Amino acid sequence: MNDGGKVYLVGSGPGGLGLMTCRAREVIAFADIILYDQLPGEEILASLPDNATKIDVGKFGGCHVMEQGDIENLMIEYASQGNNVVRLKGGDPFLFGRGGEELEILRAHNIRTEVVPGITSAIAVPASVGIPVTHRKFASQVTIITGNEDPQKEESSIDWEWLARSRGTIVVLMGVKNLGKIVASLVDFGMDKETPVAVIEKGLRFDQRETIGTLVTISDLVIEKKVRPPAVIVIGYVVSLFTSEHIVAG
């Protein structure tokens, strides 16, 4: 095991300092190097300590200023030099955050690593507008999927037929760009066209917006309102519990 530095794979939560864990704040406070995405949001990024070297690795809404392999190389390089390195991500580092891949690489190079879980936006953002992802009346299961699978895959690993027939809630992360394809797949496999859909943009931030529709209307509404990532998409009858008043994390 490398006796030098250590890498912390840190989830910053769904937005705002108020929803970061105490452990996340602790490791950020004594970090030498912070490699950050944009998803944590302006409030969290503005709070990063002045004495740390901060590097924007640029993952936000499909825009990558640094390739994944280069990010991994930086973590290895800085940790091998004896630094405490924080890899700061939005939400939870293991939910579509490529944290699992990074952990594998770090272990392969004998780098000491700690995972700091974060509250995922898949649950917290719907909750902020009164949408529970499970509810005894509406849904006894929830499925979280990515709307942006690895483009190098020969075929999707998402079972759209099963999803369309399931009676649970579907939460889609990183799905704004492919929303039309997502709803079309569900309708093609038999999901009720009138199933409610919520698209919650910039969740738990001061400029949060919500767009509510059905499988057949939501794509046009999102285009009309010019919805942009990041956004959480909720599909299911729990959306009927939506309230226009929402919580802003502070």
32 is catalytic: no
Catalytic position from the list 6, 20, 92, 174: 174
Residue 154 CB partners (closer than 8 Å, separation 6+):
none
From the centroid of its chain, how far is CA 227?
Answer: 17
φ, ψ dihedrals at 27, nearest 5°: -70, -30
DSSP element (H, E) containing 213: strand 209-214
Asked if 14 and 120 touch (Cβ cutoff 8 Å), the reply is yes
Pairing status of strand 209-214 against strand 196-201 = antiparallel
37 is catalytic: yes
- Pull the structure tokens for residue 77: 């390089």
Catalytic position from the list 59, 75, 191, 202: 59
Catalytic position from the list 20, 32, 37, 202: 37
Asked if 115 and 103 touch (Cβ cutoff 8 Å), the reply is yes
20 is catalytic: no
CA–CA gap between residue 139 and residue 242 (Å, rounded): 15
- Residue 44 falls in which region: left (phi positive, over 0), alpha (psi -120 to 50) or beta: alpha
Which stretches does DSSP call E strand in 22-111?
33-36, 53-56, 84-89
- List alpha helices for 94-137, DSSP H: 99-108, 121-128
Q: Cite the active site residues.
A: 37, 59, 174
